């Protein structure tokens, strides 16, 4: 893209600052099924997120977009028809403090999805962008050739961390929160979340359990604090009838969590069409994961797409349930969660009630993708899956919300 085109693109872009994300990439050499994984647990002030499909570049692509961004000028994680996937976590220790705002990560990721098929393509894109780039981010990337790497990227330079390099990632995974290993370590942010995530990944790698389900259900719903070691399950209330408030700050899931994506890449010789993006819109404490596959027929669960309100239904429902977890709306209320509403010994917590819904979706999706890996991608089967998932979610969530009030 020419410099003038890029500058015009940036001028037309509406930017929103990222906050506190927890992310990871995993080489396919170390995952349970041999396929690379890209993970983003997104935290932002923009709690309404939606899924959008685009055909405005060299490659078609799908990704997470802020609901207020009607035209999809920024993408906060996704993948394209070449099997290239990208996400980011904001880094607060790469650029000097006086450098000003670094807000163009969403624009850069959109460009990458439009034009890149490989890690090498992404490196060429970064090299070609006008400097300063107005970014301060850990960009995580995987491609259909087995590539998996982070690019710690500031206004003028970047440094690559390759998950396939045993010297950098001896167990095949790399975790990043809100600091860069190549940055000023005195300004690290997100340390407690890194300390919470790293042991999870280490244990999963030892037991060959680095999977989509691990990322969605174990990491994004982890209730142990990385710094203090407090495990909220140790003090689980007997039932959900009486509110039990506990401090809830700097866990991996936070009040500000707006979405989660896990992009599962492909093995050698598999078609890029088999790349999948497992998607949670809203809080992972109140929303379920639904997989999507990029397709020309535009078969996607409608609960993930913007409706006439501009918001996605699943995200709306998730936020309604989240009000039960954070009923204190004044002062520092968002730092305190009603633990009884979240989890309880009688299994009536919201997170416990959504798990069977999610398990059924994951089971159905698993059977379908296993079949496609043998017989090839089938659009008709995908449409049936999307329709069934829409019906199931539309029946389950209003009932769940009604029963929680």
Task: Kindly state the percentage of the chain with pLDDT values over 70.
Answer: 94
Token pair of 339 as six digits: 């633990």
Q: b vs e for 67-79, b when ≥16 Cβ sit within 10 Å of the residue's Cβ?
A: bebeebbbbbbbb
Residue 218's SS3 state is helix
The reported pLDDT for the residue numbered 17 is 45
Taking only the tens place, the pLDDT of each residue in 355-385 is 999 999 999 999 999 999 999 999 999 999 9
What's the whole-number mean pLDDT along residues 332-339? Answer: 96
User: Where do we find the tokens 């055909």?
Assistant: 55
Question: pLDDT class for 102, splitting at 50, 70, 90?
Answer: low
Distance CA 46, CA 232 (A): 27
pTM of the prediction?
0.94
The CA R_g of the chain, rounded to the nearest whole Å, is 20
User: For the chain, which domains are there?
Assistant: 3-404 (3.60.60.10)
- Would you say 110 and 86 are in contact if contact means Cβ atoms under 8 Å apart? no
Taking only the tens place, the pLDDT of each residue in 56-72 is 999 999 999 999 999 99
Taking only the tens place, the pLDDT of each residue in 21-44 is 999 999 999 999 999 999 999 999
Secondary element (H or E) of residue 173: strand 173-176
Phi, psi of 321 (to 5 degrees): -70, -35
Token pair of 163 as six digits: 């998950």
Taking only the tens place, the pLDDT of each residue in 379-404 is 999 999 999 999 999 999 999 998 88
Residue 139's SS3 state is strand
The reported pLDDT for the residue numbered 403 is 84
């Amino acid at each position: 893209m020419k410099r003038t085109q890029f500058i015009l693109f940036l001028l037309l872009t509406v930017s929103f600052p990222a906050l506190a994300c927890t992310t990871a990439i995993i080489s396919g050499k170390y995952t349970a099924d041999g396929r690379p994984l890209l993970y983003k647990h997104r935290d932002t002030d923009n709690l309404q997120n939606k899924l959008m499909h685009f055909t405005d570049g060299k490659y078609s692509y799908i990704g997470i977009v802020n609901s207020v961004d009607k035209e999809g000028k920024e993408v906060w994680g996704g993948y394209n028809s070449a099997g290239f996937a990208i996400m980011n976590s904001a880094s607060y220790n790469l650029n000097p403090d006086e450098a000003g705002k670094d807000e163009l990560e969403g624009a850069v990721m959109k460009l990458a999805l439009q034009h890149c098929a490989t890690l090498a393509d992404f490196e060429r894109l970064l090299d070609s962008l006008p400097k300063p780039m107005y970014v301060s981010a850990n960009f995580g990337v995987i491609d259909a050739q087995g590539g998996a790497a982070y690019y710690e990227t500031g206004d003028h330079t970047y440094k690559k961390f390759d998950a396939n390099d045993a010297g950098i990632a001896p167990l095949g995974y790399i975790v990043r929160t809100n600091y860069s290993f190549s940055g000023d370590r005195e300004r690290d942010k997100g340390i407690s979340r890194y300390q919470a995530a790293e042991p999870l990944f280490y244990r999963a790698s030892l037991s060959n359990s680095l999977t989509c389900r691990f990322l969605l259900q174990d990491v994004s719903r982890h209730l142990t604090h990385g710094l203090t070691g407090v495990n909220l399950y140790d003090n689980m209330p007997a039932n959900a009838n009486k509110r039990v408030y506990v401090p809830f700050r700097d866990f991996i899931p936070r009040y500000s969590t707006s979405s989660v994506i896990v992009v599962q890449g492909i093995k050698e010789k598999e078609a890029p069409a088999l790349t999948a993006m497992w998607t949670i819109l809203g809080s992972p404490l109140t929303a379920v994961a639904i997989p999507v596959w990029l397709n020309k027929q535009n078969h996607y669960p409608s609960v993930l797409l913007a409706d006439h309100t501009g918001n996605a239904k699943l995200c709306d429902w998730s936020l309604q349930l989240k009000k039960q977890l954070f009923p204190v709306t004044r002062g520092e209320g968002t730092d305190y969660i009603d633990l009884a509403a979240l989890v309880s010994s009688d299994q009536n917590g919201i997170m416990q009630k959504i798990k069977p819904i999610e398990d059924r979706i994951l089971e159905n999706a698993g059977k379908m993708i296993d079949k496609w890996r043998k017989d090839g991608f089938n659009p008709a089967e995908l449409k049936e899956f999307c329709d069934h998932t829409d019906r199931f979610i539309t029946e389950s969530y209003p009932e769940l919300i009604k029963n929680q009030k």
